[in-house]
């Protein structure tokens, strides 16, 4: 969308009867200064590990297309920071300037995620990653220390092992007072069956851990710790440079949909792995991928359950086949060779009716324990939240009538300020409001999108989250209301 409307973001905000909460803004760490601050609190390992992680992009951009093609290295983004709009470039770099401009941008309160820090969870060496994460969280907390009434920075929570995640959760909540955690997902694990120790083999011969399904680790202690310390797991993981998003020549090809792909993978695992069944109090957010993929996933899961739940599978059990009937039909309607082949196999069309892949439980939905349609709301529509950029027209889908059981999905307004796709920080709220102007969503939907859903994401997990902030009174009133997400029939 264009943001060519007649009203400024501040004017739109002035007409609203509710605050605006930005669920996913970004600041941009200035590497030369930030790395030296990391060195002061975390030593050389923290500083040099951070700089090495940042260098992966410049290394890839220094290669020719032919070299990237040979090594299957993805084309990364270039020219990804504001330049002609120098005020916004400065705003992204300097939290105090961002704080000063929030009214102009149209936000009352903002959750701020890192930029360079998005790469930190990908650091492979355990000791280096832990040093960088710890130092990054300390330095970030210091940058935002006096700005908490209107901004809350996200702490990085590495998820390579449950122990590492729990240790950082304990530290950031108890020592730094952090209220938002940016959790890792899709961590690359070495495929044990593949030999070779060279750099490219190590980079490519991997599988991606989605935490709640088929992981080598049990992450339930992490979810229990989140419940204990009042942190809602929010995922801002990347899916670029992987699989089908690995073009050596085209950054846009690699970039489009990669956050959605990462969110799709981990949310699907959390659902099918039964995490939302075992931890009904937890709220999870999947950021910067929009909500369109989530609407489709919700429908896909429902449709698969109808055909693959335990009861439905009984209809597909090869042992229930009426071989005599199949044989008679083949002799009457089939070609002679079909009937002959079936006779030779004693009427069995399948090679081996006992082959099920060796899984102990044939019901892929068993961990969800679904017995009624309301379970779908409780296990998917209620606990999951989806960060949506302002100009994504699929945002309207979250509030539409096409979702199973008439459910609304929890879309949260996410400006993405600080990144290349926001040309002007004053545009996102205007772009988001175009859905109201064009009649695609109602004013009540817009209230949920820009305020209520964010309040329920963080405030349900931590009732004190908004205390002392500029939106404390409105958030408390909203938390006293029960959100309506479904109209079952």
Determine the structural domain holding residue 204 and report its residue range: 9-307+367-479
In a domain, 489, yes or no: no
Residues 357 and 471 both lie in one domain: no
Structure tokens given for 218? 């049990």
Segment 387-397, tens digit of pLDDT: 999 999 999 99
So what's the pLDDT on residue 485? 53
Q: Is residue 217 located within the same domain as residue 262?
A: yes
Q: Is the pLDDT of residue 1 over 50?
A: no
Would the pLDDT of 456 be above 50? yes
Q: Are 140 and 153 in contact (CB under 8 A)?
A: yes
- What pLDDT is attached to residue 5? 54
Residues 331 and 384 in one domain: no
Q: How many domains does the chain have?
A: 2
pLDDT at 488: 44
Q: How confident is the model at residue 192 (pLDDT cuts 50, 70, 90)?
A: confident
Confidence of residue 305 (pLDDT cuts 50, 70, 90): very high
The residues, any chain, with a CB within 8 Å of residue 336's CB and separated by 6 or more, are none
Residue 212 lies in a domain: yes
Cα gap 455→155, rounded to integer Å: 19
Q: What is the pLDDT of residue 2?
A: 47
Question: Structure pTM?
Answer: 0.94
Instruction: Tell me what pLDDT residue 321 has.
Output: 93
- Do the domain assignments include residue 1? no
pLDDT tens figures, 311-350: 999 999 998 999 999 999 999 999 999 999 999 999 999 8
- Average pLDDT on 52-75 reads 95
| Domain annotation covers residue 173 | yes
Q: Looking at the structure, tell me whether residues 124 and 178 fall in a common domain.
A: yes
Does residue 409 lie within any of the structural domains? yes
pLDDT in tens, 106-145: 999 999 999 999 999 999 999 999 999 999 999 999 999 9
Query: Are 106 and 143 in the same domain?
Result: yes
- Judge whether residue 6 has pLDDT over 80: no
CATH code of 94's domain: 3.20.20.140
**In this structure, are 303 and 398 located in the same domain?**
yes
Are residue 337 and residue 382 in the same domain, yes or no?
no
Examine the pLDDT at 157 and tell me if it is beyond 70: yes
Within a domain: 275: yes
Average pLDDT, rounded, for the chain = 94
Q: What percent of the chain has pLDDT over 90?
A: 87
Task: Say how many C-beta atoms besides its own lie within 10 A of residue 187's C-beta.
Answer: 20
The pLDDT-based confidence of 482 (bands split at 50, 70, 90) is: low
pLDDT recorded at residue 67: 96
Domain boundary among 297, 327, 362: 362
Say yes or no to pLDDT of 489 above 50: no
Q: Per-residue pLDDT tens for 348-363?
A: 998 787 888 999 899 9
pLDDT tens-digit map of 240-289: 888 899 999 999 999 999 999 999 999 999 999 999 999 999 999 999 99
Q: Are residues 347 and 239 in the same domain?
A: no
If asked whether residues 45 and 165 sit together in one domain, one would say yes
Tens-place pLDDT, residues 405-452: 999 999 999 999 999 999 999 999 999 999 999 999 999 999 999 999
4 in any annotated domain? no
In a domain, 3, yes or no: no
Query: Residues 105, 205: one domain?
Result: yes
Both 346 and 201 in one domain: the answer is: no
Same domain, 326 and 207: no
């Amino acid at each position: 969308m264009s943001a060519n409307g007649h009203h400024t973001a501040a004017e739109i905000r002035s007409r609203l009867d509710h605050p605006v909460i930005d669920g996913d803004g970004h600041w941009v760490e200035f590497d030369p200064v930030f790395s030296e601050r990391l060195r002061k609190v975390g030593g050389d390992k923290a500083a040099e590990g951070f700089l090495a992680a940042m260098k992966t992009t410049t290394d890839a951009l220094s290669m020719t297309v032919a070299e990237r093609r040979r090594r299957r290295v993805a084309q990364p983004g270039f020219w990804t920071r504001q330049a002609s709009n120098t005020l916004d470039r400065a705003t992204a770099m300097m939290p105090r300037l961002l704080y000063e401009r929030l009214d102009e941008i149209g936000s009352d309160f903002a959750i701020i995620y890192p930029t360079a820090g998005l790469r930190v969870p990908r650091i492979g060496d355990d000791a280096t990653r832990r040093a960088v994460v710890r130092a990054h969280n300390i330095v970030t907390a210091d940058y935002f220390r006096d700005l908490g009434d209107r901004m809350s920075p996200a702490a990085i929570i590495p998820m390579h092992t449950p122990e590492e995640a729990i240790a950082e959760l304990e530290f950031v909540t108890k020592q730094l007072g952090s209220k938002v955690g940016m959790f890792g997902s899709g961590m690359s694990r070495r495929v044990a069956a593949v030999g070779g120790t060279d750099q490219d083999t190590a980079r490519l011969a991997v599988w991606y851990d989605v935490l709640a399904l088929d992981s080598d680790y049990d992450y339930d202690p992490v979810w229990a710790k989140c419940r204990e310390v009042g942190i809602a797991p929010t995922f801002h993981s990347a899916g670029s440079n992987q699989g089908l998003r690995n073009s050596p020549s085209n950054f846009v090809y690699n970039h489009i949909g990669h956050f959605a792909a990462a969110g799709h993978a981990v949310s699907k695992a959390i659902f099918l792995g039964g995490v939302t069944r075992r931890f009904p109090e937890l709220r999870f957010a999947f950021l910067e991928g929009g909500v369109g993929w989530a609407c489709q996933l919700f429908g896909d899961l429902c449709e698969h359950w109808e055909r693959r739940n335990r009861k439905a599978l009984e209809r597909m059990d090869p042992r229930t086949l009426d071989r005599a009937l199949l044989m008679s039909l083949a002799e009457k309607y089939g070609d002679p060779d079909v009937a002959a082949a079936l006779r030779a196999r004693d009427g069995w069309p399948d090679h081996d009716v006992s082959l099920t892949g060796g899984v102990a439980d044939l019901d892929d939905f068993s961990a969800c324990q679904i017995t009624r349609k309301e379970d779908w709301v409780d296990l998917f529509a209620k606990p999951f939240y989806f960060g949506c950029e302002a100009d994504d027209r699929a945002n309207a889908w979250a509030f539409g009538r096409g979702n199973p059981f008439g459910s609304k999905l929890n879309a949260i307004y996410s400006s993405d300020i600080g990144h290349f796709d926001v040309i002007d920080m004053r545009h996102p709220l205007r772009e988001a409001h175009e859905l109201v102007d064009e009649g695609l969503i109602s004013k009540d939907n817009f209230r949920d999108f820009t305020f209520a859903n964010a309040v329920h994401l963080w405030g349900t997990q931590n009732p004190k989250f908004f205390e002392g902030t500029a939106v404390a009174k409105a958030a408390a009133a909203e938390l006293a209301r029960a959100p309506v997400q479904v109209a079952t029939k």
